[in-house]
Amino acid sequence: MAASTAAPLPQYEAVIGLEIHAQLQTASKIFCGCSTAFGAPPNSHVCPVCLGFPGALPVLNGAAVDFAICAGLALGCRINESSVFARKNYFYPDLPKGYQISQYELPIAVDGAVEFTMPSDSAQGRHVRVGITRAHMEEDAGKSLHEGFTDSDRKTYVDYNRSGVPLIEIVTEPDLRSAADAAEFFTRLRALLVWLGVNDGNMEEGSLRCDANVSIRLRGNPTLGTKAEVKNLNSFRFLQKAIEYEIERQTDLLEEGGRVVQETRLWDAAAGVTVSMRSKEEAHDYRYFPEPDLPRVHADPARVDRIRVAMPELPPVRRQRFVADYRLPDYDATQLTESRAMSEYFEAAVHAGAPAKAVSNWMMGDLARVLKERRLDIACSPVPAARLAGLLSLIERGTISGAIAKTVFETMVATGRTADDIVKAEGLTQIDDESAIVGLIQGVLDANADAVAAYRGGKTTTFGFLVGQVMKQAAGKANPKRVNELLKRALDS
Ligand code: ADP
Ligand code: ZN
Ligand code: MG
């Protein structure tokens, strides 16, 4: 390969469309009562329906439909009042029926869009709009196990636990123009689905997978170039790297006078390249036809409204409300609405009486650090929102100083006790009393005659040193503002 530039040559433009498979968070499978729990022993969550036994009848799981409608609404889609399941025929060991039940001509959700601003692209941030062509429901296939058995060199095993797990496939318009935009879009989409509770966002377990369709064309050319599809990218980094690689590969091909062939490719993470899996000529004819064993899916307006009303406030709306209601900087509001759990923690702390900006600072500072160290989600924070509020109220009321609050917080993390408790038990209440502080100051002035003389001789930088000495005598508990005032008065008198 010639040049190794991540961006296409300036005369070329990359065109990218994504297809995302997201597992819907139902307890049971889409057409039977088997569990969807991850990690069970192979073939322990199976029955005649999801093993594809002849004559076993599928029954649609209504909860999966509700999740699909919820996702569709959040993606700005129109929900089809009536949608249809079809049989997509192909033969593969992990597909026991010889066909996959999937929505085809009439999917449940169509014509949506996701909009966002690219971070730190420029001071303004570039606006990106990605059309959502469709979102349709389908069942997952089983999983072929090529490794891990003594006879894996000769045999492939199949685990059907995943067969029949409900999925939604989200198909975008070819609106993306760079690997970075595609990765950002996928990040936002994941956050949205997790926020809604539609998907758990776990890419390692395969609950969220992405296929990237990539083509190149001369800038200004209105027609699309021939695309290659890179299958099953299961991390943001792989998605970005695979697209970058494809853009480079296709650009080089065109530059050398060749042409891109339409094909399916796989990302080889170890080698950092995409490799051809099958060309479109070998592609399947899926011979779709309506699934005769399932009635049409009904998403009548009442059902859609019920789901709409029950939906949580969405991230961009919540972000704006945080700015408006709590006077937070946009930066803070953006950080706090990265996840629903985080935004809920914030509001719970504020409702418990803590000042909004202080909650935000602590969440982005000490709390974020502790959660990261302990690899904990904020929902499992060792310091729940109401307790953080308790700590912040003590600072607000002047009971403890900001410096003491930091150590109290560490004790809260370590012991699970309340701030009140710790402050009382350890006598950490701030010394505000004038005579007590003056007494400490006098002691420090007596013990540091040289520094005092230097200060009085014009070397005012020793002031900070003397403040430090007083705070040390007070074990950090003196109100620093009072110490400053009273020390200045004592020195200048
Ligand atoms: P196919 O028939 O191969 O499945 P579709 O038209 O259904 O192709 O599109 C599948 C995905 O590929 C969509 O996300 C779409 O936006 C994207 N796509 C289609 N054509 C192109 C292209 N020329 N370049 C990049 N992406 C494309
Ligand atoms: Zn089953
Ligand atoms: Mg297609």
Sign of CA dihedral 480, 482, 488, 493: negative
What is the chain's mean pLDDT, rounded? 93
Pairing of strands 228-233, 263-268: parallel
> What's the CA gap between 19 and 209, in Å, rounded?
8
pLDDT band at 482 (very low <50, low <70, confident <90, very high): confident
> What's the CA gap between 473 and 485, in Å, rounded?
17
> What's the CA gap between 366 and 380, in Å, rounded?
15
Say if ligand 1 is within 6 A of residue 337 CB.
no
Please determine, for residue 5, whether its predicted confidence score (pLDDT) is greater than 80.
Answer: no
Q: Which of 102, 181, 213 to mutate to test the pocket of ligand 1 (most atoms within 8 A of CB)?
A: 213
Residue with the larger pLDDT of the pair 76 and 481:
76
Percentage of residues in the chain having pLDDT higher than 70: 96
Span 155-181, mean pLDDT?
A: 97
Spatial CB neighbours of 90, under 8 Å, sequence gap ≥ 6:
98, 99, 100, 284, 286
Spatial CB neighbours of 345, under 8 Å, sequence gap ≥ 6:
363, 378, 379, 381, 385
pLDDT band at 3 (very low <50, low <70, confident <90, very high): very low
> What's the CA gap between 21 and 286, in Å, rounded?
19
Q: Which two tokens stand for residue 153?
A: 């060199």
Please determine, for residue 6, whether its predicted confidence score (pLDDT) is greater than 60.
Answer: no
Angle, CA 112 vertex, CA 115 and CA 301 arms, to 5°: 130
What's the CA-to-centroid distance between 49 and ligand 2, angstroms?
5
Type of residue found at 389: A
485 to 414, 437, 438, 469, 491: CA distances (angstroms):
35, 10, 10, 15, 10
Please determine, for residue 120, whether its predicted confidence score (pLDDT) is greater than 90.
Answer: no
Give the position, in ligand 1's atom list, of the atom nearest the Cα of 226: 23
Q: Render pLDDT for 27-49 as a digit per residue (tens, 0 to 9).
A: 999 999 999 999 999 999 999 99
Please determine, for residue 282, whether its predicted confidence score (pLDDT) is greater than 70.
Answer: no
Span 436-460, mean pLDDT?
A: 90
Phi, psi (degrees; rounded to nearest 5) at 226: -70, 135
Span 117-132, mean pLDDT?
A: 81
Q: Render pLDDT for 304-338 as a digit per residue (tens, 0 to 9).
A: 999 999 999 999 999 999 999 999 999 999 999 99
pLDDT score recorded for residue 8: 63
Q: For the chain, what are the domain ranges?
A: 12-303, 313-425, 434-492
Say if ligand 1 is within 6 A of residue 225 CB.
yes
pLDDT score recorded for residue 182: 97
Closest listed residue to residue 111, CA positions, set 76, 141, 85 = 76
Closest listed residue to residue 234, CA positions, set 193, 270, 202 = 202
Say if ligand 1 is within 6 A of residue 15 CB.
yes
Closest-lying ligand to the alpha carbon of 59? Answer: 2
Q: Render pLDDT for 231-253 as a digit per residue (tens, 0 to 9).
A: 999 999 999 999 999 999 999 99
What's the CA-to-centroid distance between 229 and ligand 3, angstroms?
11
What's the CA-to-centroid distance between 27 and ligand 3, angstroms?
29
Please determine, for residue 4, whether its predicted confidence score (pLDDT) is greater than 70.
Answer: no
Strand partners, 78: 110
Say if ligand 1 is within 6 A of residue 378 CB.
no
Q: Render pLDDT for 383-439 as a digit per residue (tens, 0 to 9).
A: 999 999 999 999 998 888 888 899 999 999 999 999 999 998 888 787 777 888 899
Please determine, for residue 283, whether its predicted confidence score (pLDDT) is greater than 80.
Answer: no
pLDDT score recorded for residue 10: 79
**What is the CATH architecture of 434-492?**
Orthogonal Bundle (1.10)
> What's the CA gap between 58 and 50, in Å, rounded?
8
What's the CA-to-centroid distance between 171 and ligand 1, angstroms?
9
pLDDT band at 298 (very low <50, low <70, confident <90, very high): very high
pLDDT score recorded for residue 403: 85
Please determine, for residue 97, whether its predicted confidence score (pLDDT) is greater than 90.
Answer: yes
pLDDT score recorded for residue 1: 44
Give the position, in ligand 1's atom list, of the atom nearest the Cα of 171: 14
